């Protein structure tokens, strides 16, 4: 048995960085940037009006209100003017338009009153120089790095890339992940389980988790606990960048996965981690392929994926941030840990009264999918920590659904 941290270290040491590829900006969401991106233009590219109103010489407004001549109108998209307002003149200007030379502020339209059919305008307030003008290059200078390598592309990053002129971007290749569920008791979702049978759910959870981590996923379906059939399917699975196998890694008579992998030439690097849920956890490599034998209990599968597989998939794509955020949360009720392993307990977390509070979710154990689905965080109790009382502060790992839940 090795500790969680050590196991993750081993996994990451063996996770190869995949090649880069160029993709169009329109399909780059969730991909990981492979190189620093620089802007090819100043942003803004000219002194830009930040309000609809009047481009003014602020000195003219020192004794506002004052009525001045309107000598032009500048819409967004107009080429920058060669000449601007002379003393006691103003120009009407729109948000996003280039501020003309001579003008040093924009007075917003709400503080003005048009007179003489727009020939003149009454400016109701004075303005300080620079007001409502975004100077050229005040946000970004041409040539500057606007996004760093390793950034996962979210909507805000895509906007930055678009503004920087990146119609295509270099990103880490998506890992190809094959998912195989093992177990004699498993039937397909569309079937009604017979006596002793259950529907196979792990493949769906794992496939979805891998997709959310940027992988291309291929399902290898379900295989029985039969040495020959298992080896055939595993052989197929070893063509992946990452093979995920669920079930068959404990110490039972029909837990055939680890020996089968070994026979197929997989170098097993560990097969037990001091974690709950999920102690039997096999990790190995076959050439550049990573193989995870995840315990079949549905929560063990999902939690061990999040802690070990997801960081590997992100590392392979070149991501900077691999771990889920951790916070400290105050327990609303006590939790126990009799496992002597690092216990990861489902909880509903919310921010309230200046701190995170955690409501532990009553779970029947590592098969209780329904309880786990109510959680948006995992409370972590260390192996030696037997109990944490209500009111105690414990570390919590935010789960992927955290931002879409309110923890109630």
Q: Which helix (H) or strand (E) holds 198?
A: strand 198-199
Among 207, 237, 284, 296, binds ligand AMP (CB under 6 A): 296
Sheet of strand 267-270: strand arrangement: 216-223, 176-182, 242-246, 289-294, 282-286, 267-270
* Minimum separation from the CB atom of position 316 to ligand AMP (A): 24
Residue 248 lies near ligand AMP (rule: CB under 6 A): yes
Build a one-symbol-per-residue string for 373-402: x at contacts with ligand AMP by CB under 6 A, - elsewhere: ------------------------------
Query: Should residue 185 be labelled a site residue for ligand AMP when binding is judged by CB under 6 A?
Result: yes
Helix, strand, coil: what percent of the chain each, to 5? Answer: 20, 35, 45
* Window of 207-215, 292-300, 335-343, 375-383 that interacts with ligand AMP by CB under 6 A: 292-300
Cis peptide before 50 (omega within 30 of 0): no
Quickly count: other Cβ atoms within 10 Å of residue 228's Cβ.
Answer: 9
Q: Which of 26, 276, 290 is nearest to 153 (CA)?
A: 26
Q: DSSP string of 121-149?
A: EEE-S---TTTTEE-TTSSB-TT-EEE-T
Which of 298, 407 has the CB closer to ligand AMP?
A: 298
DSSP string across 147-195? E-TT-B--HHHHHHHHHTT-SEEEEEPPPEEEEEEE-TTEE-TTSPP-T
> How many positions of this chain bind Mg ion (CB under 5 A)?
4
Residue range at the interface with Mg ion (CB under 5 A); choices 82-90, 247-255, 281-289, 308-316 = 247-255
CA end-to-end span of the chain: 36
Tell me which stretch binds ligand AMP (CB under 6 A): 18-26, 296-304, 382-390, 391-399. Answer: 296-304
| Subset of residues 24 to 83 that bind Mg ion, contact rule: CB under 5 A | none
Cα 106 → chain centroid: 39
CB of 279 to ligand AMP, least distance (A): 11
Residues 247, 298, 346, 407: which binds Mg ion (CB under 5 A)?
A: 247
Shortest Cβ 247–ligand AMP spacing (Å): 3
Q: How many CB atoms are located within 10 Å of the residue 386 CB?
A: 13
The smaller minimum CB distance to ligand AMP, of residues 227 and 333, is found at: 227
Q: Looking at 2, 133, 158, 181, which residue binds ligand AMP (CB under 6 A)?
A: 181
Tell me the HSE value of 5 on the side-chain side, using a 13 A CA sphere.
3
Site string for Mg ion, 133-172 (x = CB under 5 A): ----------------------------------------
What does 185 interact with, of ligand AMP, Mg ion, none (CB < 5 to 8 A by kind)? ligand AMP
Q: How many helices (H) and strands (E) does the chain have?
A: 8, 28
According to CB under 5 A, which residues from 252 to 311 bind Mg ion?
Answer: 296
Residue closer to Mg ion (CB basis): 217 or 249: 249
Strand 393-398 and strand 326-331: the pairing is antiparallel
Q: Does 298 bind ligand AMP (CB under 6 A)?
A: yes
Q: Which is nearer to ligand AMP, 89 or 246 (CB)?
A: 246
Binding site for ligand AMP (CB under 6 A): 181, 183, 185-186, 198, 200-203, 246-250, 252, 255, 295-298, 367
Binding site for Mg ion (CB under 5 A): 183, 247-248, 296
């Amino acid at each position: 048995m090795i500790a969680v941290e050590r196991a993750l270290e081993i996994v990451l040491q063996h996770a190869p960085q995949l090649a880069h590829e160029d993709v169009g900006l329109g399909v780059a969401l969730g991909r990981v940037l492979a190189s620093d991106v620089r802007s090819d233009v100043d942003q803004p590219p000219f002194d830009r009006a930040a309000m609809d109103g009047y481009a003014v010489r602020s000195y003219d407004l020192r004794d506002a209100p004052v009525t001045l001549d309107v000598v032009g109108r500048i819409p967004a998209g107009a080429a920058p003017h060669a000449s601007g307002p002379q003393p006691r003149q103003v120009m009407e200007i729109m948000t996003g338009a280039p501020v003309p030379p001579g003008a040093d502020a924009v007075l917003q339209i709400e503080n003005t009153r048009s007179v003489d059919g727009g020939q003149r305008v009454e400016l109701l307030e004075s303005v300080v120089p620079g007001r409502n003008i975004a100077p050229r290059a005040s946000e970004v200078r041409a040539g500057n790095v606007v996004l760093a390598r390793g950034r996962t592309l979210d909507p805000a990053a895509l906007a930055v890339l678009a503004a920087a002129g990146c119609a295509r971007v270099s990103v880490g290749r998506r890992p190809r992940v094959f998912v195989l569920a093992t177990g004699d008791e498993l039937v397909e979702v569309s079937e009604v389980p017979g006596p002793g049978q259950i529907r196979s759910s792990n493949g769906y959870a794992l496939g979805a988790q891998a997709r959310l981590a940027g992988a291309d996923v291929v399902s290898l379906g379900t295989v029985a606990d039969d040495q020959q059939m298992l080896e055939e399917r595993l052989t197929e699975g070893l063509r992946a960048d990452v093979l995920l196998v669920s079930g068959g890694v404990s110490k039972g008579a029909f837990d055939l996965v680890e020996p089968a992998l070994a026979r197929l030439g997989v170098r097993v690097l560990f097969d037990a981690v001091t974690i709950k849920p999920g102690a039997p956890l096999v990790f190995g490599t076959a050439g550049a392929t990573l193989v995870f034998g995840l315990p079949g209990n549905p929560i063990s599968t999902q939690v061990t994926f999040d802690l070990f597989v997801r960081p590997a998939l992100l590392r392979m794509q070149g991501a900077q941030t691999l771990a889920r955020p951790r916070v400290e949360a105050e327990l609303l009720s006590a939790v126990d840990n009799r496992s002597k392993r690092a216990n990861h307990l489902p909880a509903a977390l919310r921010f309230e009264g200046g701190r995170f509070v955690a409501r532990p979710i009553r779970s029947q154990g590592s098969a209780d999918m329904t309880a786990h689905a109510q959680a948006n965080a995992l409370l972590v109790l260390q192996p030696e920590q037997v109990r944490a009382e209500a009111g105690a502060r414990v570390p919590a790992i935010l789960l992927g659904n955290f931002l879409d839940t309110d923890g109630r």
